[in-house]
């Protein structure tokens, strides 16, 4: 048999197997956060300033550190995007940077972040947690949202909502639970789908408190090894 120099797996042969390549899974945290930002799009969609919408509450709890954030206007698309971490510009030091990111970075699609850019603010980290393959052709991806805030902001909402971080967790859950994300699949919060699913309070030794929300995705590669979907039998 001749060697196939065009194969991405050269010099080894490809054999039929029940494994997933997970090609594209590395983009999940970024896609989830940009979905939660609820941005206008080329189709003419424009987010409404309506507190019954979970992504509206999510944006307001993140942007406004003041009392009763839901009474404020919905942050503009530019303001919401300014909270999204840019790894090419990890530090916000210059006056120009501070004008572009007036609230600093508050949304991160990775786990490890410089502590200096997290202090004294509310922020959310989204990243891939534990991953395992419970049966052929299906890989279960754990997705984690770590929601943090300073104790100064945790209970300053001055409404019936006593915890800012749990209110953010609730908004994330409501925004993700009923949907099937194109190219990613449906999100599950059921413990039977991933042993880490659920949520728990998290703390540091300082004045930072929060919640850790775990959900999961049942992943199945597409036929072209680049399209992925949720298995309908999961």
What pTM was estimated for this model as a whole?
0.87
CB 194 within 8 A of CB 186: no
Q: Which of 127, 162, 165 is nearest to 148 (CA)?
A: 165
Please state whether beta strands 123-135 and 107-108 pair in parallel, antiparallel, or not at all (unpaired): parallel
**148 vs 210: CA distance, rounded Å:** 4
- pLDDT < 70 regions, the chain: 1-2, 112-120, 158-159, 205, 222-234
Measured over the CA atoms of residue 98, residue 171, residue 159 and residue 165, the dihedral's sign is negative
Domain ranges of the chain: 25-229
Residue 33 backbone phi and psi in degrees, to 5: -70, -40
pLDDT digits (tens, 9 = 90+) for 13-69: 777 777 888 988 999 999 999 999 999 999 999 999 999 999 999 999 999 998 899
Is the CA virtual torsion 64, 69, 72, 76 positive or negative? positive
For position 232, what pLDDT does the model report?
Answer: 36
Q: How many CA atoms lie within 13 A of 148 on its CB side?
A: 24
Question: CA-to-CA distance for 104 and 210, rounded, in angstroms?
Answer: 19
102 with 22: CB under 8 angstroms? no
Cα–Cα distance measured from residue 10 to residue 203, given in angstroms and rounded to the nearest whole number: 48
Q: Identify the three-state secondary structure at position 212.
A: strand
Pick the closest to residue 138 from 14, 234, 224, 23 (CA basis).
234
Contact 218, 140 (CB under 8 A): yes
Contact 143, 125 (CB under 8 A): no
């Amino acid at each position: 048999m001749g060697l196939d120099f065009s194969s991405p797996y050269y010099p080894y042969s490809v054999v039929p197997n029940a494994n997933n390549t997970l090609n594209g899974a590395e983009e999940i945290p970024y896609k989830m956060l940009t979905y939660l930002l609820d941005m206008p799009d080329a189709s003419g969609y424009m987010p409404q300033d309506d507190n019954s919408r979970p992504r509206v509450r999510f944006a307001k709890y993140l942007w406004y550190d003041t009392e009763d954030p839901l009474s404020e206007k919905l942050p503009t698309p530019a303001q919401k995007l300014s909270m999204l971490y840019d790894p090419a510009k990890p530090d916000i030091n210059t006056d120009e940077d501070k004008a572009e990111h007036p609230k600093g970075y508050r949304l991160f699609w990775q786990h490890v972040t410089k502590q200096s850019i997290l202090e004294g603010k509310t922020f959310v980290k989204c990243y891939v947690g534990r991953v395992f393959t419970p049966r052929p052709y299906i890989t279960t991806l754990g997705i984690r949202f770590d929601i943090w805030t300073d104790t100064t902001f945790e209970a300053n909402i001055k409404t019936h909502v006593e915890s800012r971080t749990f209110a953010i967790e609730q908004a994330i859950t409501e925004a993700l639970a009923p949907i099937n994300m194109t190219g990613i699949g449906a999100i599950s919060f059921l413990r039977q789908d991933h042993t880490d699913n659920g949520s728990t309070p998290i703390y540091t030794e300082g004045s930072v408190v929060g919640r850790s929300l775990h959900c999961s995705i049942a992943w199945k590669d597409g036929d072209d090894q680049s399209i992925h979907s949720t298995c309908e039998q999961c």
